[in-house]
């Protein structure tokens, strides 16, 4: 039974606005490690890799090769890295955050138009909390979010608030470009040709999914999570945020804060890259914590293979190695995700692992 009474929270933001001093329902009490930080996590946070995108796109072969090596190392050691000098206009990133914030400021009735009926693979969805089945049926998370698939079909992008569609469309195009170039570098770092992973995953007709996460200030931040520990679908995912931190990644057994540099992008490699790289570049556990004072906004552009294409380890890698994963499509993976996780299979991805 919820300590705040049984409440129907269809948006954390709206619920907070209508409750002056809310007592947070106990089904939000999902954070079990609130007694301070992991020892040494602070030191590790300073070591999160930084990739200078301009070196990766350099015409000088040696500069490019060194950047490719650094990128491969970042994928192997962390699965998360910060990208600077990416060439995307700072104004566009700011406008995107502003329009996404405007979206969450729309009246609840407007946002609820995107709630839809229950569909395990919706093309657009506004919701609060996250997939409860990923941890426990009754657990809730301190988040309101809008998710939509923007590519290959752009018809899902909302037209409200004013200017959202135009800005989101531009943002999506730029993020696809950055993701594609990173993927070429990642492919090279695996000893493959730059276009190999792009070709094998049909990346150019692959999906792009946008997730706009709002984490309102929380009166009891030590008790709740914005998003529970999870690994992302996708190949290369890119995140921007409004300057308020909250993303943590599991590294060396500790929850490490990710603090972006000004005008940088946060990139992580998802489940599909773990498979495409035949297990070399892991999909990393991460989560979002919340704070008492400020709303946090993050916008994620996730990039994956063509949705109905079966992918597996890149064929070029299998000339010398045994496959560690069998083939699957995006929909296969999500179906496993929706079934829920268990201690012996914490990641849906592990359902596709081959025990050689």
Ligand X SMILES: O=C(O)CCC(=O)C(=O)O
Stretch that binds ligand X, among 193-201, 239-247, 277-285, 340-348 (CB under 6 A): 239-247
We find the least distance from the C-beta atom of residue 23 to ligand X, in angstroms, to be 25
Q: Which is nearer to Fe ion, 16 or 300 (CB)?
A: 300
We find the least distance from the C-beta atom of residue 300 to ligand X, in angstroms, to be 4
User: Are the beta carbons of 4 and 25 closer than 8 angstroms?
Assistant: yes
273 binds ligand X (CB under 6 A): no
**Cα end-to-end span (Å), the chain:** 46
Complete DSSP assignment for 180-193: HHHHHHHHHHTTS-
Q: What is the residue whose two structure tokens read 């990128």?
A: 71
227 binds ligand X (CB under 6 A): yes
Interacting residue with ligand X among 288, 289, 311, 324 (CB under 6 A): 288
Q: Which is nearer to Fe ion, 68 or 227 (CB)?
A: 227
How many residues touch ligand X under the rule CB under 6 A: the total is 11
User: Are the beta carbons of 126 and 115 closer than 8 angstroms?
Assistant: yes
We find the least distance from the C-beta atom of residue 172 to ligand X, in angstroms, to be 15
213 binds ligand X (CB under 6 A): yes
We find the least distance from the C-beta atom of residue 267 to Fe ion, in angstroms, to be 12
211 binds ligand X (CB under 6 A): yes
Q: Which is nearer to Fe ion, 95 or 232 (CB)?
A: 232
286 binds ligand X (CB under 6 A): yes
298 binds ligand X (CB under 6 A): yes
247 binds ligand X (CB under 6 A): yes
Q: For residue 126, what are its two tokens?
A: 């506004």
Complete DSSP assignment for 236-283: EEEEEESS---EEEEETTEEEE--PPTT-EEEEE-HHHHHHTTTSSPP
Interacting residue with ligand X among 75, 197, 225, 300 (CB under 6 A): 300
Residue 121, classed as helix, strand or coil, is: coil
256 binds ligand X (CB under 6 A): no
Q: Which is nearer to ligand X, 111 or 230 (CB)?
A: 230
**CA distance linking residue 49 with residue 81, whole number of Å:** 5
Determine how many CB atoms are found less than 10 A away from the CB of residue 342.
7
We find the least distance from the C-beta atom of residue 230 to Fe ion, in angstroms, to be 6
Q: Which is nearer to ligand X, 226 or 312 (CB)?
A: 226
- Cβ density class 37-53: b for 16+ within 10 Å, e for less: ebeebeebbeebbebbb
We find the least distance from the C-beta atom of residue 297 to ligand X, in angstroms, to be 8
Q: Which is nearer to Fe ion, 131 or 202 (CB)?
A: 131
Name the binder of 179 from ligand X, Fe ion, none, CB < 5-8 A by kind: none
Nearest to 197, CA basis, from 75, 304, 76: 304
- Torsion, CA 46, CA 52, CA 53, CA 57, rounded to 10: -150
Name the binder of 168 from Fe ion, ligand X, none, CB < 5-8 A by kind: none
Q: Which is nearer to ligand X, 68 or 284 (CB)?
A: 284
284 binds ligand X (CB under 6 A): no
Site residues for Fe ion per CB under 5 A: 232
We find the least distance from the C-beta atom of residue 81 to Fe ion, in angstroms, to be 15
Continuous H helices in the chain? 12-17, 41-45, 53-56, 61-77, 90-104, 108-112, 164-189, 196-201, 271-276, 330-339
**CA distance linking residue 143 with residue 122, whole number of Å:** 18
Name the binder of 288 from ligand X, Fe ion, none, CB < 5-8 A by kind: ligand X
Which residues of this chain interact with ligand X, rule CB under 6 A? 211, 213, 227, 232, 239, 246-247, 286, 288, 298, 300
């Amino acid at each position: 039974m919820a300590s705040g009474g049984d409440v129907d929270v269809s948006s954390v933001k709206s619920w907070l606005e209508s409750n002056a001093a809310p007592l947070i329902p106990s089904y939000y009490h999902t954070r079990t490690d609130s007694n301070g930080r992991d020892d040494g996590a602070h030191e590790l946070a300073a070591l999160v890799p930084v990739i200078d995108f301009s070196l990766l796109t350099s015409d000088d072969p040696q500069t490019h090769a060194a950047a490719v090596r650094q990128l491969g190392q970042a994928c192997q050691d962390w699965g998360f890295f910060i990208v600077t000098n990416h060439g995307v206009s700072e104004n566009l990133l700011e406008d995107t955050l502003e329009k996404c914030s405007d979206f969450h400021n729309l009246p609840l009735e407007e946002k609820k138009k995107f709630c839809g009926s229950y569909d395990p693979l919706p093309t657009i969805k506004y919701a609060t909390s996250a997939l409860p089945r990923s941890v426990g049926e009754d657990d809730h998370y301190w988040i309101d979010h809008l998710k939509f698939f923007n590519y290959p079909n752009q018809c899902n992008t909302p037209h409200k608030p004013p200017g959202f569609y135009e800005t989101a469309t531009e943002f999506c195009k730029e993020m696809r470009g950055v993701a594609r170039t990173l993927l070429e570098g990642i492919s090279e770092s695996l000893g493959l040709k730059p276009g190999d992973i792009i070709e094998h995953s049909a990346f150019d007709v692959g999906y792009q999914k946008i997730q706009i996460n709002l984490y309102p200030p929380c009166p009891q931040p030590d008790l709740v999570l914005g998003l529970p520990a999870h690994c992302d679908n996708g190949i290369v995912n890119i995140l921007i945020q409004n300057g308020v931190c909250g993303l943590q990644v599991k590294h060396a057994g500790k929850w490490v804060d990710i603090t972006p540099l000004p005008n940088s992008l946060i990139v992580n490699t998802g489940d599909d890259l773990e498979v495409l790289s035949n297990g070399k570049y892991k999909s990393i556990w991460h989560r979002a914590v919340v704070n008492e004072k400020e709303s946090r906004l993050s916008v994620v552009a996730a990039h994956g293979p063509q949705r109905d294409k079966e992918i597996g380890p890149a064929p070029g890698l299998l000339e010398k190695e045994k496959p560690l994963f069998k083939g699957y499509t995006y929909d296969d993976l999500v179906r496993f995700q929706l079934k829920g996780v268990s201690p012996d299979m914490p990641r849906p991805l592990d359902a596709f692992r081959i025990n050689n």
